Amino acid sequence: MKQIVQCLRDGETQLWEVPCPSTGKNEIRIQSVCSLVSLGTEKMLIDFGRSGWISKAKQQPEKVRQVFDKIKTDGISATLRAVSSKLDTEIPLGYSNVGRVVKIPDAMTGLVPGDLVVSNGPHAEVVSIPRNLVARIPDVVKPEQAVFTVVGSIGLQGIRLLSPSIGEVVAVTGLGLIGLLAVQILRAQGCTVIGIDLDPQKCRLAESFGATAVDLSGGGDPIGVAKQLSNGKGVDGVLITASTRSNQPIHQAAVMCRKRGRIVLVGVAGLELSRADFYEKELSFQVSCSYGPGRYDPDYEEKGNDYPYGFVRWTEQRNFQAVLELMARGDVDVKPLISHRFAFSDTLKAYEVVESGKALGIVLEYGQSAEGSESTEHKDDSQVIVRAPRNNIPTAGTVALVGAGGFSRQVLVPALLETGCRLKTVVSSKGVSGTQLARRYGFESSSTDVESVLEDAEVDTFLITTRHDSHAHLVVAALKKGKKVYVEKPLCMTREELDQVCDIYSSLLEEGKSPFLMVGFNRRFAPQIVEMKRRLENTGEPLAITMIVNAGSIACNHWTQDPAVGGGRIVGEACHFIDLARFLASSSIAKVDTLKCERSESPGSGDTVSISLKFENGSVATIQYLGNGHRSVPKERIEVFGGGRVLQLDNFRRLKAFGWKGFKGMNLWRQDKGHGAEMKSLMDAVREGKASPIPFDEIVEVTRASFQAAGVSATGNSDGTDQ
C-alpha cells in the first residue's frame, strides 16, 4: 500500500510503498476513503524539517540541553551519531482519516465490517487504529464532511475547557480550520462570537458562520469590537487557535477579557505572560490538550480501557461522536472549508499547495466508494520489496529483524551491517519504521507479518528487538522453526515464560538438534571489559565488584514501567549489569539480595535499588541502580578490586588501572559498549556453526537472578520477595 511520510532532516514529503499495518488485539483495520491535510500542523512539520540546524535548535531548546548533557557524558561522536539518526527518521503524516471497517477486535460491539468510520489515522491506504480512537459516522454525514471530525474535536475540547454558556461573548483568535470549526460550535451553543485573523477570506468565512469578524490586515480593532459586543464589560472568554511565536495573542486576549474571564490556548503562542494583564482581572489561563481526555494515556489509547461514562463524560472518542452529531444536525458546515481535492496518487501536488500557504481544507481521496463493503478491502500486502539481493554475500547468516525502533536504527543495525551479513527482512507493526530502516541500511524487504518471515526458509538468523512482552513468544516460535535466535534483553518477563523457553530448548536438545539462543548482553563484549576480564582471570582470589548505574528517572506511564509490557527496569535493564558482574567474576551466582529505596513523591525513587550478588568462588558484587540521579553525570561506573589491584571504568570510555605492572589503563576516543563486537561474535558463530557466544545456562542464570532482584512472581508481578 502507499503512505505519506516526511523526513525530519530536510522536510521532504514522499509517497512510500509500505506493507499494510498489522492489527493489534485492540485495533480496528480500516480501508481509507479520504483523509484531511491539516494545513497548520503539517505545514509546521514541513517548515521545521526544511529549517537549518540552528533554526531547529532554537525551536527545541530543551533538546539542545539534552544534546550538551549527552556530549559531556558520552562524547561528541556518540552524540552526533544519535542526533543524525533521529533527524534521518521519516515520520507518517496525517491524523484525520475516514474509511471502511475491514476487521474488528474479538468481542467488540458497536461496529461491524463495512461500517464507515472516522479515526486519527494517517494518510495511508490502510490504517490500524486503537478502538477508542474510532467513531462510527452517522448515515447522513458524508465522508468528505466527517473527515473534519478530528480537527473539530481539537477545537471542541478547547471549548469544553472554556466552559461557555448561552449568551456569553467569546472571541476566537486564529481562523484556520480549528478556529472556523470552533466558531460554528460556539454559535451552536448560543454564544456571540468574535473571529480574529489576518486573512480577509477567513474573516469572510467566519462572518458566514455568524461571527463578527475582525480583519487585522485591514486595521481591525479586536479590543474595540469586544467592548462594543459586551457592552463595555469585556468578553467572557477567548479561544486562541492561532499558531505564532508572538506573545501578542495572549496579551490581546487578556485585554479583551472581562474580570475573571477565561483564556484557553488550543494552538501555539508565546507564553511570556504579563502579570499585570492577569492580576487585576483575576483571569484564568489553560492550555488544551488535543482531542480530549484519554490523549497520550496508553491505558486508554493502546489498551482500549475506556473511562467510566459517569465520571469522564467527554473523552477523545466521545468528542469525535459529538462533532459528528453537530454535523448530522447541520450545526457545523464544513463544505465551505474545502479548498482543494486531490486523488491520493497526486498527493505530492497537494503538498505543493500546502507549502504555498494558499489553502484551507485539503481532502485526499483514495478512490474507494463510500458505499463500499468488506469486499472492497485493499489487498493485504504485508510485505514490500525494498531492493534486490546483493551479490557475493554469504549463504549462512541471512538475517530477519523484528522491531524497528530507535535502538535498532541507531545502534544494532549499523553494527550488524559491519558484519557483511545478508539483511533479508525487517518487520515492524505499522510498516513505516521498518521500511525506513530497510531503505536506509539495505534490507531486501519490509514486512508487518512475523509469521511469514518465520516460514522463510532462507532466513536462518532471527533478531528480536521488540517490546519486552513479546520476547518470550517470539523466541519460542523462532526456536521451533529452527532459527538461530538473538533477542535483546530481557529474555522474558516471568518465570513461567522462562520455563517455556527452557522447555523448548531442552526438547530440541533431546531431538539431537543444536538450538542457538543469544541475549543482547552487549557489555561483556566491550573492548575495555574484555581487557578487564583477561587481567582479572589471573588474580587468583575473589573479587569485589562495584557498579554505579545512573539510570535516571523515566515517566511512570512509559511502556518499560508497565509490568505487563516492559516488566519494570530491574528485569528490563538492570539484568545487563547482573550479567556483566557474573561475566567479570567468572563464577555462578550463589545469592541475590536487594534493598529498594522507599517509594516517595521523588521521581525515580521506585527505580532506585541496591542489588548484592554473591558468587560461588567467593566474589561479591554490588550494583547501585539509580533512578534518582542527574543526567549530566555519566551513566555507568565500574570498579573491580582484587589481589591488591583495582580496575576503574568510567562510562565505557576511560579505563584506569591501579597496581598493574606495565598497565596504566585503556582510553577510547569514543564510547564503545560492545555492540559492534557483539554482532561480529553473533554472525561469526552463525557462519561457522558454533554455539552461542553466551552459554545458555548463563543466560538462564542471569534471568533468574534478575527476577530475584525485582521480586518477580511466576505471573510477572512484583511480590517483593526473593523466590
User: Rounded CA gap, 551 and 549, in Å?
Assistant: 5
Instruction: Identify the band that residue 615 occupies on the pLDDT scale cut at 50, 70 and 90.
Output: very high
User: Rounded CA gap, 424 and 392, in Å?
Assistant: 14
Residue 393, C-alpha cell as written in the block:
554475500
Quick count: other Cβ atoms within 10 Å of Cβ 655?
A: 22
Q: In the prediction, which pLDDT does 45 show?
A: 63
pLDDT of 379 strictly over 60: no
Lowest mean per-residue pLDDT among 88-102, 171-185, 385-399, 546-560:
385-399
Residue 144, C-alpha cell as written in the block:
468528505
Residue 323, C-alpha cell as written in the block:
462533532
pLDDT of 545 strictly over 50: yes
Region 688-693: mean pLDDT is 96
Instruction: Identify the band that residue 375 occupies on the pLDDT scale cut at 50, 70 and 90.
Output: very low
The CATH 3.30.360.10 domain(s) of the chain lie at 522-710
Lowest mean per-residue pLDDT among 116-120, 152-156, 566-570, 637-641:
566-570
Beta bridge partners, 240, equal 173, 265
- Proportion of the chain above pLDDT 70, given as a percent: 88
Q: In the prediction, which pLDDT does 721 show?
A: 41
CA dist list (Å): 381 to 18, 126, 308, 404: 9, 10, 38, 19
446-456 burial: b if 16+ Cβ within 10 Å, else e:
bbbbbeebbeb
pLDDT of 168 strictly over 90: yes
> Under CATH, what is the fold of the domain 151-287?
Rossmann fold (3.40.50)
- Phi and psi torsions of 27, nearest 5°: -110, 155
Provide DSSP, 645-705. Answer: EEEEEETTTEEEEES-TT--EEE-SS---SHHHHHHHHHHHHHHTPPPSS-HHHHHHHHHH
Residue 353, C-alpha cell as written in the block:
499547495
Kindly report, residue by residue over 455-504, the tens digit of the pLDDT: 999 999 999 999 999 999 999 999 999 999 999 999 999 999 999 999 99
Sign of torsion over alpha carbons 436, 439, 443, 447: positive
Cα 406–Cα 433–Cα 498 angle in degrees, nearest 5: 60
- Phi and psi torsions of 691, nearest 5°: -75, 165
Region 140-145: mean pLDDT is 96
Helices H / strands E in the chain, number of each: 25, 31
Nearest Cα neighbor of 177 from 288, 267, 291 is: 267
Q: In the prediction, which pLDDT does 620 show?
A: 98
Q: In the prediction, which pLDDT does 714 show?
A: 52
Region 413-436: mean pLDDT is 95
Report the predicted TM-score, pTM, of the whole model to 2 decimal places.
Answer: 0.87
The CATH 3.40.50.720 domain(s) of the chain lie at 151-287, 383-517
Q: In the prediction, which pLDDT does 718 show?
A: 58
Lowest mean per-residue pLDDT among 152-156, 445-449, 534-538:
534-538
Residue range 2-146+334-371, CATH number: 3.90.180.10
Residue 622: which region, alpha, beta or left (left: phi > 0; alpha: psi -120 to 50)?
A: beta
- Proportion of the chain above pLDDT 90, given as a percent: 72
Domain 383-517, CATH number (from 3.30.160.250, 3.40.50.720, 3.40.50.300, 1.10.640.10): 3.40.50.720
The CATH 3.90.180.10 domain(s) of the chain lie at 2-146+334-371
pLDDT of 397 strictly over 80: yes
Q: In the prediction, which pLDDT does 46 show?
A: 64
Q: In the prediction, which pLDDT does 533 show?
A: 96
Instruction: Identify the band that residue 723 occupies on the pLDDT scale cut at 50, 70 and 90.
Output: very low
Residue 340, C-alpha cell as written in the block:
482543494
519-539 burial: b if 16+ Cβ within 10 Å, else e:
bbbbbbbbbbbebbbebbeeb
Q: In the prediction, which pLDDT does 89 show?
A: 77
User: Rounded CA gap, 122 and 533, in Å?
Assistant: 50
Residue range 522-710, CATH number: 3.30.360.10
Provide DSSP, 159-219. Answer: HHHH---TT-EEEEE--SHHHHHHHHHHHHTT-EEEEEES-HHHHHHHHHTT-EEEEGGGT
Q: Which carries the bigger pLDDT value, residue 101 or residue 607?
A: 101
Q: In the prediction, which pLDDT does 286 show?
A: 96
- The one-letter code for the residue type at 670 is R
Instruction: Identify the band that residue 6 occupies on the pLDDT scale cut at 50, 70 and 90.
Output: confident
pLDDT of 59 strictly over 90: no
pLDDT of 378 strictly over 60: no
Lowest mean per-residue pLDDT among 49-63, 314-328, 455-469, 543-557:
49-63
Instruction: Supply the mean pLDDT for the chain.
Output: 90
51 CB burial (10 A radius; 0-12, 13-18, 19+): middle
Instruction: Identify the band that residue 78 occupies on the pLDDT scale cut at 50, 70 and 90.
Output: low
Region 438-467: mean pLDDT is 96
Region 366-395: mean pLDDT is 66
Kindly report, residue by residue over 657-680, the tens digit of the pLDDT: 999 999 999 999 889 999 999 999
